[in-house]
A and B are shown apart, each in its own frame.
Chain A
Amino acid sequence: MAELKLKQLQKTYEDGPTVIHGINLDIRDGEFMVFVGPSGCGKTTTLRMIAGLEDISGGELIIGKQVVNDVPAAKRGVAMVFQSYALYPHMTVRENMGFGLRLAKQPKADVEAAVHRAADILQITHLLDRKPKALSGGQRQRVAIGRAIVRKPDVFLFDEPLSNLDASLRIQMRIELAKLHKELATTMVYVTHDQVEAMTLGDRIAVFNGGRIEQVGTPLALYEKPANLFVAGFLGSPRMNFLPSKVAGHGLQLADKAELDIQLPLPDGTPVTIGVRPEHIGLGYEGLAAVVDIVEHLGDTQIAYVRVKDIKDPLAVKLASNHTPPANGSTVRIAITPETCHVFGEDGKVMMPVRREETVLA
């Protein structure tokens, strides 16, 4: 059990570029913290610094009450589950799981008991005498998690643990991981590039981008109140629609003549970006004219991609599954309510509108 503090944490690889640019993060005791972000943004590097597998170039890392910058991995009280599982091929499952405790010179009986308890939780007792070679991907993953549990660490670290599993197994393991966290109530840091995993598992999510943290918050907070364009675009599928726009007198001017009644204390002509999620765009008889590109039917919903004059990318519109799909190439009208809009300034940061009125744009 331990809390985790990252203070201005920095990483510069030997004769390489700086890949982590001073990040600050407090992870609470018992919290399930997810690091999410595109590939190459520094999630693994940060996790490896926490684990003690990578030197810290700057800043402080605190586990519990102790600054651990110079504490070797073995002494940090963390356990890590690797994307590759990293099971020791020459040891049986039992030996793999007990390895840490045996190194710590625990009595044989205690090791055996701990291994059995973990194997029980993960339902892998029947595999204990097998070598990793004789296990399926899902079973290996369980053993890797089991090896972490056995040591009763203060902090669990997961680096994309499910990305090598097939889709159905991934969902099953995701649910089990969530249960496991409830049961153990241990601090967990979980790296993924999969936003669904992030949204479903995390107590809080830290969105990484280019070696910085863009925003930290609960999944819902990030989804509903993204702090910037990056977070807004990263979470949600299909992603949020972005409409270039300009401040114009009493509102925001969209393409053509359309106007949104959102007032900002900015001079006329200031460019801003309006963000609106696909589920917040309505298809109806009034509003902005748009031409239907294509309609995707996903079973439970439909996504219509429509083109609006002067807006480069097609807009995604989420429709109920029983909605009569508009014909490809037909002209429809889309309606956007100001209350559901996010407005981002030129620097990409979200802006709070001074006043929003309940009127639908015309």
Chain B
Amino acid sequence: MTDITTLPASAATPATRSKTFNYQRWLNRSLHYLVLSALAVITVYPFWWTLVTAVSTAGKVYAFPPALLPTEPGLQNFLEVFQTINVWAFYKNSILISGATVVGTLIICSLAAYPIARMRFAGRNFVFGAIVATMILPSEVNFLINFITVSKLGLTDTISGVVLPNLAGAVGIFLMKQAFEAVPQDLIDAAKVDGANEWEVFWKIMLPLAKPALGALAILTLVSAWNQYIWPSIVMTSVENFPLSVGVSYLKGAFSFKTRLVAAGAVLTVLPILIMFLFTQRYFLRGFEGAVK
């Protein structure tokens, strides 16, 4: 008897529970998206404001509350930027500097990460610990010592001077180390038995398998090399060597302070990297998935 009465009751419970559960889930989701949207607005708004300022040709720049939409939109500001500074030359410098930084970083970081990830040697943990420790310091701390080094080497006002100090980054080494550690030992052993030496294992097995991480590191490095401002402005002394990020500051130079021109210059600087990122975003995220888990 008791069996018969308890059975339907227990069968009914999951249904009621799932109803309340769904409601909670809905509430959770809504909150989730509310917070995410707020974050998105906070992050995106400065960019939006810059864009609005760059394409507006009338109205107050520093109106409050700030304008959400451009007034009398047009491209005059951009035209004026092209007339004021040599945008194409700056682009060329930016491309050279970021290109060299990306290639150099991929080489140096993977070469540094491989032994840390896959070889046994005395002091391995110490070396890795020291590399990770540098992440704590802001990069500005290095400017002084790096500048002294660069000038002693006679590299001021050269692309090498801007690029070299940035190649061995802790983040890149860390990322590559994670990727190399994820490769099963059997693959390395199989390659060794197949006749590969250490270099061939690295080049033909490890690097191809670390492609997602290499891709992520490439994009990460590209963005930061393209956008860097202070370091190239310290190293480069002649205007014709400036990357775009530094060159744009000339827009607020000797003449009156033209905020709309600076905004247009900023848009010109960010635009290529933004487009690039949009296209490679998926690859970028995949690289981190594999590396960080």
Complex Cα spacing A273 to B196, Å: 52
Residues on A with C-beta less than 8 A from B30 are none
Among the listed A72, A104, A147, which residue makes an inter-chain contact with B192, where contact means beta carbons less than 8 Å apart? A72
Chain A residue, CB-CB nearest to B208: A90
* Contacting residues of chain A (81-107) with chain B, CB-CB under 8 angstroms: 82, 84, 86, 88-90, 99-100, 103-104
A-B Cβ contacts below 8 A, count: 59
Q: Provided the pairs A84-B184, A89-B209, A90-B208 are in contact, do residues A103 and B192 lie with their beta carbons within 8 angstroms?
A: no
Give every chain B residue within 8 A of A89 (Cβ-Cβ): 187, 209
Do A74 and B189 form a contact, CB below 8 Å, given A86-B184, A88-B205? Answer: no
Once the chains bind, are A73 and B200 in contact (CB under 8 Å)? no
Contact B209 A86 (CB under 8 A): no
Residues in A45-59 with C-beta less than 8 Å from chain B: 48, 51-53
Q: Kindly state whether residue A78 has any CB partner on chain B within 8 Å.
A: yes
Tell yes or no: B138 within 8 A of A by CB.
Answer: no
On whether A52 and B193 interact (CB within 8 A), knowing A84-B186, A86-B186, A88-B205, the answer reads yes
Q: Does A151 contact B (CB under 8 A)?
A: yes
Does B140 lie at the interface of the complex (its beta carbon under 8 Å from any beta carbon of A)?
no
A210 and B204 alpha carbons, distance in the complex (Å): 38
| Chain A hits for B266, CB < 8 A | none
Interface bits B130-145 vs A (CB < 8 Å: 1, else 0) = 0000000000000000
Beta-carbon contact of B195 and A74 below 8 Å: yes
Q: How far is the CA of A48 from the CA of B194 in the complex (A)?
A: 14
Whole-angstrom CA separation of A228 from B163 in the bound complex: 70
Q: Is the CB of B189 within 8 A of A99?
A: no
Q: Which interface residue of B190, B192, B197 has the most chain A CB atoms within 10 A?
A: B190
Question: With the chains together, A166 CA to B72 CA distance in Å?
Answer: 73
Q: How large is the interface on A (under 10, 10 to 19, 20 to 34, 35 or more residues)?
A: 20 to 34
B89 within 8 A of A: no
Chain B residue with minimal CB distance to A95? B204
Residues of B within 8 A of A53 (CB): 189, 192-193
Interface residues of B in 46-66 (CB under 8 A from A): none
Query: CA separation between A99 and B184, bound complex, in Å?
Result: 18
The 8 A CB mask of B166-209 against A (1 = contact, 0 = none) is: 00000000000000000010110111111111001000110011
Which residues of B are found within 8 Å of A78, using beta-carbon distances?
193
Q: Indicate if the CB atoms of A88 and B191 lie closer than 8 Å.
A: yes
Q: Is A80 an interface residue (CB 8 A)?
A: yes
Q: B-contacting residues of A (Cβ < 8 Å)?
A: 48, 51-53, 72-75, 78-80, 82, 84, 86, 88-90, 99-100, 103-104, 147, 151
Listed by A's residue number, 19 A-B pairs whose Cβ atoms lie within 8 Å are A48-B189, A51-B189, A51-B193, A52-B192, A52-B193, A72-B192, A74-B196, A74-B197, A80-B189, A80-B193, A82-B190, A90-B211, A99-B191, A100-B195, A103-B194, A103-B196, A104-B195, A147-B190, A151-B195
